[in-house]
Protein backbone atom coordinates (compact mmCIF):
# COMPACT_ATOMS: atom_id res chain seq x y z
CA UNK A 1 0.00 0.00 0.00
CA UNK A 2 1.51 3.37 -1.04
CA UNK A 3 2.29 5.99 1.59
CA UNK A 4 -0.45 8.66 1.66
CA UNK A 5 1.62 11.50 3.11
CA UNK A 6 5.13 12.43 4.21
CA UNK A 7 6.72 15.27 6.11
CA UNK A 8 9.09 17.77 4.56
CA UNK A 9 12.00 16.65 6.75
CA UNK A 10 11.77 13.15 5.23
CA UNK A 11 12.84 14.65 1.90
CA UNK A 12 15.82 16.64 3.21
CA UNK A 13 18.93 16.13 1.09
CA UNK A 14 22.29 17.77 1.77
CA UNK A 15 25.27 17.82 -0.58
CA UNK A 16 28.71 19.24 0.16
CA UNK A 17 31.35 19.91 -2.51
CA UNK A 18 34.67 21.72 -2.65
CA UNK A 19 35.17 24.14 -5.54
CA UNK A 20 38.10 22.83 -7.56
CA UNK A 21 39.96 24.48 -10.47
CA UNK A 22 37.97 22.58 -13.11
CA UNK A 23 34.72 24.01 -11.66
CA UNK A 24 35.73 27.67 -12.02
CA UNK A 25 35.59 30.45 -14.57
CA UNK A 26 38.46 32.79 -15.46
CA UNK A 27 37.83 34.78 -12.27
CA UNK A 28 38.38 31.63 -10.16
CA UNK A 29 34.71 31.56 -9.13
CA UNK A 30 32.35 28.60 -9.43
CA UNK A 31 30.69 28.57 -12.85
CA UNK A 32 26.93 29.15 -12.70
CA UNK A 33 26.18 26.12 -14.85
CA UNK A 34 28.16 23.88 -12.52
CA UNK A 35 26.21 25.21 -9.53
CA UNK A 36 22.90 24.63 -11.34
CA UNK A 37 24.02 21.07 -12.09
CA UNK A 38 24.64 20.46 -8.38
CA UNK A 39 21.31 22.10 -7.48
CA UNK A 40 19.48 19.81 -9.92
CA UNK A 41 21.11 16.72 -8.40
CA UNK A 42 20.36 17.57 -4.76
CA UNK A 43 16.79 18.62 -5.61
CA UNK A 44 16.19 15.38 -7.55
CA UNK A 45 17.40 13.35 -4.56
CA UNK A 46 14.96 15.24 -2.34
CA UNK A 47 12.06 14.66 -4.76
CA UNK A 48 12.95 10.97 -5.04
CA UNK A 49 12.98 10.65 -1.24
CA UNK A 50 9.51 12.14 -1.08
CA UNK A 51 7.99 10.16 -3.94
CA UNK A 52 10.00 6.92 -3.83
CA UNK A 53 9.99 7.19 -7.62
CA UNK A 54 12.21 8.18 -10.48
CA UNK A 55 11.77 11.91 -11.06
CA UNK A 56 12.41 14.29 -13.94
CA UNK A 57 13.06 18.03 -13.76
CA UNK A 58 10.00 19.94 -14.97
CA UNK A 59 11.01 23.54 -14.25
CA UNK A 60 13.55 25.76 -12.57
CA UNK A 61 12.49 29.06 -11.10
CA UNK A 62 14.71 32.11 -11.06
CA UNK A 63 18.24 31.35 -9.89
CA UNK A 64 20.08 34.51 -8.95
CA UNK A 65 23.74 34.63 -8.06
CA UNK A 66 24.01 37.00 -5.12
CA UNK A 67 27.54 36.13 -3.99
CA UNK A 68 30.48 34.62 -5.88
CA UNK A 69 31.68 31.21 -4.73
CA UNK A 70 35.47 31.13 -4.88
CA UNK A 71 37.98 28.44 -5.73
CA UNK A 72 38.58 26.40 -2.58
CA UNK A 73 35.24 27.28 -0.96
CA UNK A 74 33.11 24.47 0.42
CA UNK A 75 29.60 24.61 -1.04
CA UNK A 76 26.67 23.13 0.89
CA UNK A 77 23.37 22.61 -0.87
CA UNK A 78 20.20 21.73 1.04
CA UNK A 79 17.00 20.66 -0.67
CA UNK A 80 13.60 19.83 0.71
CA UNK A 81 10.17 19.27 -0.84
CA UNK A 82 7.88 22.19 0.01
CA UNK A 83 4.64 20.85 -1.48
CA UNK A 84 3.41 17.92 -3.51
CA UNK A 85 0.65 18.15 -6.08
CA UNK A 86 -0.69 15.24 -8.18
CA UNK A 87 2.53 13.98 -9.70
CA UNK A 88 4.72 17.04 -9.24
CA UNK A 89 6.71 18.33 -6.30
CA UNK A 90 8.17 21.75 -5.61
CA UNK A 91 11.64 21.57 -4.07
CA UNK A 92 13.39 24.47 -2.32
CA UNK A 93 17.18 24.58 -2.57
CA UNK A 94 19.45 26.81 -0.49
CA UNK A 95 23.17 27.16 -1.11
CA UNK A 96 25.90 28.38 1.23
CA UNK A 97 29.59 28.88 0.57
CA UNK A 98 32.18 28.54 3.29
CA UNK A 99 35.80 29.58 3.29
CA UNK A 100 37.00 27.28 6.05
CA UNK A 101 40.41 28.94 6.74
CA UNK A 102 38.82 32.38 7.23
CA UNK A 103 35.64 31.11 8.89
CA UNK A 104 33.50 33.06 6.39
CA UNK A 105 30.15 31.43 5.61
CA UNK A 106 27.59 33.12 3.34
CA UNK A 107 24.24 32.25 1.77
CA UNK A 108 24.74 32.49 -1.98
CA UNK A 109 21.68 31.11 -3.76
CA UNK A 110 18.09 29.98 -3.34
CA UNK A 111 15.77 28.49 -5.90
CA UNK A 112 12.67 26.40 -6.44
CA UNK A 113 12.78 23.43 -8.81
CA UNK A 114 9.78 21.36 -9.86
CA UNK A 115 10.00 17.62 -10.43
CA UNK A 116 7.51 15.10 -11.75
CA UNK A 117 7.48 11.50 -10.55
CA UNK A 118 7.27 8.98 -13.37
CA UNK A 119 6.64 5.26 -13.70
CA UNK A 120 8.79 2.74 -15.62
CA UNK A 121 7.32 3.97 -18.92
CA UNK A 122 8.01 7.63 -18.17
CA UNK A 123 4.37 8.51 -17.45
CA UNK A 124 3.51 10.80 -14.53
CA UNK A 125 2.47 8.97 -11.37
CA UNK A 126 0.90 10.22 -8.16
CA UNK A 127 3.03 11.20 -5.18
CA UNK A 128 2.28 11.34 -1.45
CA UNK A 129 0.87 14.53 0.01
CA UNK A 130 3.27 16.68 1.99
CA UNK A 131 2.44 17.60 5.57
CA UNK A 132 4.37 20.67 6.76
CA UNK A 133 5.28 20.72 10.45
CA UNK A 134 7.34 23.82 11.27
CA UNK A 135 6.34 27.45 10.70
CA UNK A 136 8.97 27.78 7.96
CA UNK A 137 7.66 24.64 6.24
CA UNK A 138 4.08 25.95 6.47
CA UNK A 139 5.11 29.27 4.94
CA UNK A 140 6.83 27.55 2.00
CA UNK A 141 3.87 25.16 1.64
CA UNK A 142 1.34 28.01 1.55
CA UNK A 143 3.32 29.96 -1.04
CA UNK A 144 3.82 26.92 -3.28
CA UNK A 145 0.38 27.13 -4.89
CA UNK A 146 0.98 30.77 -5.91
CA UNK A 147 4.42 29.88 -7.30
CA UNK A 148 2.94 26.91 -9.17
CA UNK A 149 0.20 29.02 -10.73
CA UNK A 150 2.73 31.68 -11.73
CA UNK A 151 4.92 29.01 -13.39
CA UNK A 152 1.93 27.63 -15.29
CA UNK A 153 0.76 31.08 -16.42
CA UNK A 154 4.26 32.07 -17.59
CA UNK A 155 4.61 28.76 -19.45
CA UNK A 156 1.27 29.33 -21.19
CA UNK A 157 -0.22 26.23 -19.57
CA UNK A 158 -2.75 28.14 -17.44
CA UNK A 159 -4.99 31.04 -18.32
CA UNK A 160 -4.36 33.99 -15.97
CA UNK A 161 -8.12 34.16 -15.28
CA UNK A 162 -7.92 30.64 -13.82
CA UNK A 163 -5.02 31.46 -11.49
CA UNK A 164 -7.19 32.11 -8.46
CA UNK A 165 -4.20 32.56 -6.13
CA UNK A 166 -2.75 35.22 -8.45
CA UNK A 167 -5.89 37.12 -9.44
CA UNK A 168 -4.89 40.18 -7.43
CA UNK A 169 -1.62 40.42 -9.39
CA UNK A 170 -3.14 40.01 -12.85
CA UNK A 171 -6.49 41.71 -12.18
CA UNK A 172 -6.14 44.32 -9.43
CA UNK A 173 -9.42 45.43 -7.87
CA UNK A 174 -10.62 48.78 -9.09
CA UNK A 175 -11.25 51.41 -6.42
Span 77-116, pLDDT tens digits: 999 999 999 999 999 999 999 999 999 999 999 999 999 9
Query: Cα–Cα–Cα angle for 142, 146, 147, nearest 5°?
Result: 105
**Mean per-residue pLDDT, 111-124:** 96
Cβ count near 3 (within 10 Å)? 12
> What pTM, to 2 d.p., does this model score?
0.89
Q: b/e for 10-32, b at 16 or more Cβ within 10 A?
A: bbebebebebeeebbeeeebbbe
What is the CATH class of 5-131?
alpha beta
Instruction: Give the model's pLDDT for residue 175.
Output: 41
Helix, strand, coil in percent for the chain, rounding step 5: 35, 35, 30
Q: How far apart are CA 132 and CA 91, in angstroms?
A: 13
| Domain extent listing, the chain | 5-131
pLDDT at 174 over 50: no
Average pLDDT of the segment spanning 148-167: 80
pLDDT tens readout for residues 13-46 = 999 999 999 999 999 999 999 999 999 999 999 9
Collapsed DSSP state (helix, strand, coil) of residue 127? coil
Amino acid sequence: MPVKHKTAKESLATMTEMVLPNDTNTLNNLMGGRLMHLMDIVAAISAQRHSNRVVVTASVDNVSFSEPIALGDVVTLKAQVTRAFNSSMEVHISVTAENIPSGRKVATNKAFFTFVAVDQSGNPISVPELVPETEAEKELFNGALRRRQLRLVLAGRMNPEDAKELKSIFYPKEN
